Amino acid sequence: MSKLDNQMDKINQQLKAKGYKLTHQRAMTLRVLLENEQDHLSAEDVYMLVKKTYPEIGLATVYRTLELLTELHIVEKMNFGDGVARFDLRDDSQEHMHHHLICAKCGVLKEIQEDWLLELEQRVQREFGFTVTDHRLDFTGLFQSCSAGECKRGKDTKAS
Amino acid sequence: MSKLDNQMDKINQQLKAKGYKLTHQRAMTLRVLLENEQDHLSAEDVYMLVKKTYPEIGLATVYRTLELLTELHIVEKMNFGDGVARFDLRDDSQEHMHHHLICAKCGVLKEIQEDWLLELEQRVQREFGFTVTDHRLDFTGLFQSCSAGECKRGKDTKAS
DNA sequence: ATTAAGATGATAATGATTATAAATTGAGAA
DNA sequence: TTCTCAATTTATAATCATTATCATCTTAAT
């Protein structure tokens, strides 16, 4: 059984446990997410990719599926201020959202896998009596290569 | 001269320096922002507040003004995932955006004024060759009072 | 006062997302 | 297998925030 099948199976369990079915459409949507784990796809992106192998799917279904998966904490819905929500498979081993480095020039986006915030979360708890359940940390700035003017993309801010 | 006048004057200088006029509408919009420094108002919020003392103002003007102020780094445009942009006067002494604590239950929002990220920014520079120009740190979770069920607001997520 | 650039206000247009309603699917009962 | 019901899907209309358009209005300099 491939890694992909394995992951799919695991998610299937989660869906079933909550009384949801893994329909063909949902499976296709998940597959796209699994095959693009590194990207931060918008709903439209996902829609286009699913359509390639399953042209009958409707945009609304993609939206609904992404919302469902977000509720189940299988994907992470995020927002980089460009007016579209982006979705990302949530790694089980990763309790929180990844941190991001976003190039201010070309929009290239890099994930930091480690969790750098445990200490600050304890501090928030101590100083504000606030129990953190999730967090978000994005840095905007310039990569060395981008400040050297080697940015590939002009301004289309496609997350990848 | 009141503190408000003082701030207004300072911003006027900034506008002039860039060749923009401080029109009545812009002044009114700024006043609302200055009088609500603690809040994170949406464009619509600002519009409603300005209308109270200047009913002739148009929504588009408010949007335009907020965008202008954002470009000049006088206000900070932010986004908490509820589908509306929120605006916040930017403190000169504060180089970056404030950190936020967001109650997952009622949406109450608290600012942390200190900058807790200098160390992590150095780390980003070291490990990724990424020069940070701005950052964003939000924690989602529960305040003690909210987990005790004393949340005031149900789910309207009005930032304040 | 005249003119031209900058601003504004009303409103139409856009784009992402959500709601609606009719049609389809699938699991279990008969 | 056939029936039935609830979940799901699809196409599309509706919504909501934001942006663009354009005619009108201000204002500062001539």
**What pLDDT digit, counting tens, does each position of B68-120 carry?**
999 988 999 998 888 899 999 987 766 677 899 988 877 788 899 899 999 99
Give how many domains chain A has, as a whole number. 2
Residue of A nearest to B76 (CA): A81
Distance B20 CA to C3 C1' (A): 20
- Residue A60 CA to nucleotide D14 C1', Å? 14
Q: Is the CB of A85 under 7 A from strand C?
A: yes
Which CATH number is B141's domain given? 3.30.1490.190
Any binding-site annotation on B135? Answer: yes
At B155, the amino acid letter reads K
* B40 confidence band (pLDDT: 50, 70, 90): very high
The verdict on A80 and A104 lying in the same domain is no
From the candidates A130, A131, A138, A150, which should be mutated to test the interface with B, based on the most B CB atoms within 10 A?
Answer: A130
For A134, the domain range is 98-160
Among A40-49, A75-84, B93-102, the range of highest mean pLDDT: A40-49
CA distances from B69 to A97, B18, B48, B76, B90 (A): 31, 11, 18, 8, 10
Question: A69 with A88: CB under 8 angstroms?
Answer: no
Is A108 found in the same domain as A56?
Answer: no
- Measured distance CA(B121)–CA(B135) in Å, rounded: 9
A156 and A119 assigned to the same domain = yes
Banded pLDDT at B156 (limits 50, 70, 90): very low
Q: A98-124 pLDDT, tens per residue? A: 899 988 777 788 889 899 999 999 999
Is A150's pLDDT higher than 70? no
CA gap A107, A144 in Å, rounded: 14
Confidence of residue B152 (pLDDT cuts 50, 70, 90): low
Q: Do both A12 and A41 map to the same domain?
A: yes
How far are the Cα atoms of A15, A17, A155, B153 from residue B22, in angstroms, in the given order?
56, 59, 31, 37
A76, A92, A108 - which closes a domain: A92
Query: In the structure, what pLDDT confidence band is assigned to residue A90 with cuts at 50, 70 and 90?
Result: confident
Question: Stated in angstroms, how far is A72 CA from C6 C1'?
Answer: 51
Same domain, residue pair A10 and A77: yes
Answer yes or no: do A108 and A136 share one domain.
yes
Interchain pair B128, A101: CB under 8 A: yes
Q: Same domain for A28 and A80?
A: yes
**Do residues B76 and B17 share a domain?**
yes
Decide if pLDDT at A153 tops 60.
no
